[in-house]
Amino acid sequence: MYPGVHAATAPDRPAVIMSATGERLTFGELEENSRRLADRLRARGLRRGDVVALLSGNDPRMFEVYWACQRSGLYVSAVNKHLKPDELAYILSDSGARALIVGPGMIDAVGDARSGVEYAVAMDLPSSDSGEWLDYASEVALGSPEPVADQPRGGDMLYSSGTTGRPKGIRPPLPDRDIKEPGDAMVALFGPALALDSDTVFLSPAPLYHAAPLRLCGAVQALGGTVVVMDRFDAEAALAAVETYQVTHGQWVPTMFVRMLKLPAEIRAKYDMSSMTHAVHAAAPCPAEVKRQMFDWWGPILHEYYSSTEVSGTTWVTPQDWETHQGSVGKPILGILRICAEDGTELPPGEIGTIYFERDERPFEYHNDPAKTKAAEHPSHPNWTTVGDIGFVDEDGFLYLTDRKAFMIISGGVNIYPQEIEDVLVLHPAVSDVAVIGVPDEEMGEKVLAIVQPAEGVTPSAPLADELTAFARSHLAGYKIPRRIEFTNALPRTPTGKLVKGPLRNLYT
């Protein structure tokens, strides 16, 4: 399905609502404007497989661009709006983007990066512009609103966060079908799992330039539901949005849960959350105790999945299954799960190894990087792919994440998984956020360092470090206890909640 189906039957239903302002984009407007923009892209010579780069903060017109590409056989490459011009220039060049569409306030951020792009369009073109940019509204108005017979399905080509070197474009093969034909993978996976339909009101508090928000919002719109978009996440504002818009579904990451749980009790009790029937979370492992506290607050409505931008595979755990397999991210719903040792040997239940998913064909490639594409393959099975996560399965086939292979600490020959330590320390009331890394040690090879962002109003001190060490010791084996605790004002996280540990390692090692 796609929004045009719902534009024909319910043109005035909102496809997008901006939570802070109440601004709305109806299905009728979304369908017409995406048709018009698709016509302009065709007129500019873009054809199946070409790339349209999209640089914007959360804005309803992002979905016009998204669906224009989806109905034109184009890749949409949503780009992190915080990139510097040289970083943006790299992505535009590497992707071969033929068009660049920027949201409000983004022209200055582009600088000279757009010099190689044929078709550059701005959503808030200033009247003083020199003519290098075209006006988005004018371009849409010039396009024909009539659908064309041939509307090949497009896709997305998103770039990795680039925490180790340059980001890499993740390029899945384009589906061989028309926009009106069924078969969309996100709809097929998430529609039944979350009971998405035309009555869904879906809260998206994360940046739309990330894979999960963009794709899930697209799936909701394909099924006729309304997407409520926050400009940025704020714990109390998210609760207010649920009440105001009678949100039925929400997408979250664990850091959002932690921040909402640390709101004063009177604030948490102030808002009516009874409309929400499904809360889905992913992006980073969720501490079991944090999830337990969310169950106590919201009830058994939390669904969790594990996947990646590459979508090498996907697992899913329902609230009911999580109760009996706490800490698990579920069983596979896409791909066959394989846990393998360093030499590629498949491991039995309970043993920790690299997580692979087996698919009928390789689901992605890293654009312009055949070596990295090859490195993601199993040494003996090209259709088994990994993104470098490690974990294990239990006897019932449920997957448990241990950590990223790159984050593992080896101290005295013993493997230590930082996520386990972070999950403990973040529960301390004096802690707002925490990252655990390994730093060089002459005797042990590496030792455990915890970098703590104190909660608001908490002053860093040696006694606090001692208190946190004792807290960790009461929950963890001795070899896992941080040998050193440092304090910081803020930790580097992506807007989807993933810790970016590269800068921390550079700073502390």
For residue 317, count CB atoms less than 10 angstroms from its CB and return exposed for 0-12, middle for 13-18, buried for 19 or more.
Answer: buried
Tell me the domain boundaries of the chain. 27-174, 332-405, 408-508
pTM to 2 decimal places: 0.85
Identify the helix (H) or strand (E) that includes residue 317. Answer: strand 314-317
Query: Between the CA of residue 278 and those of 27, 202, 246, 273, 362, what are the distances in Å?
Result: 23, 9, 12, 11, 31
Alpha-carbon distance of 483 to 473, in angstroms, equals 11
279-303 residue pLDDT tens: 999 877 788 888 999 999 999 999 9
Residue 130 has pLDDT above 60, yes or no: no
Mean pLDDT of 106-128: 88
Mean pLDDT of 9-28: 98
Least confident of 39-43, 434-438, 442-446, 482-486: 442-446
Complete DSSP assignment for 168-214: -EEEPPPPSSBTTSS--HHHHHHHHHHT--TT-EEEE-S-TTSHHHH
What percent helix, strand, coil does the chain show, rounded to 5? 30, 25, 40
CB 80 within 8 A of CB 163: no
Which span out of 52-61, 105-114, 123-132, 397-406 was modeled with the highest average pLDDT? 52-61
> What is the structure's pLDDT at 165?
58
Residue 83 has pLDDT above 90, yes or no: no
34-56 residue pLDDT tens: 999 999 999 999 999 999 999 99
CATH of 332-405, one of 2.30.30.240, 3.40.630.30, 2.60.40.10, 2.30.38.10: 2.30.38.10
Closest to 157 measured CA to CA, from 174, 173, 171: 171
Instruction: Determine whether domain 408-508 maps to CATH 3.30.300.30.
Output: yes
Structure tokens at 28: 């009728």
495 three-state secondary structure: coil
Mean pLDDT of 480-495: 90
Alpha-carbon distance of 41 to 380, in angstroms, equals 42
Helix and strand tally (H, E) in the chain?
17, 28
Alpha-carbon distance of 43 to 135, in angstroms, equals 16
Mean pLDDT of 171-192: 92
159's CB contacts (< 8 A; 6+ apart) are 77, 79, 80, 91, 95, 167, 168, 169, 170
Pairwise pLDDT comparison (288 vs 394), residue with the higher score: 394
Phi, psi of 193 (to 5 degrees): -65, -35
410's CB contacts (< 8 A; 6+ apart) are 416, 438, 445, 446
195-245 residue pLDDT tens: 999 999 999 999 999 899 999 999 999 999 999 999 999 999 999 999 999
> What is the structure's pLDDT at 283?
78
CB 426 within 8 A of CB 433: yes
> What is the structure's pLDDT at 163?
45
Structure tokens at 302: 């939390």
Pairwise pLDDT comparison (358 vs 390), residue with the higher score: 358
> What is the structure's pLDDT at 84?
82
Least confident of 136-140, 361-365, 468-472: 361-365
Residue with tokens 């807290």: 471
Residue 309 has pLDDT above 60, yes or no: yes
Closest to 228 measured CA to CA, from 161, 275, 283: 275
Query: Between the CA of residue 372 and those of 91, 97, 376, 388, what are the distances in Å?
Result: 17, 21, 6, 12
159-175 residue pLDDT tens: 976 544 578 899 999 99
How long a stretch of residues is the chain?
Answer: 509
User: For 27-174, CATH number?
Assistant: 3.40.50.980
Residue 501 has pLDDT above 90, yes or no: no
Question: 509 pLDDT band (50/70/90 cuts)?
Answer: confident
Phi, psi of 207 (to 5 degrees): -65, 135
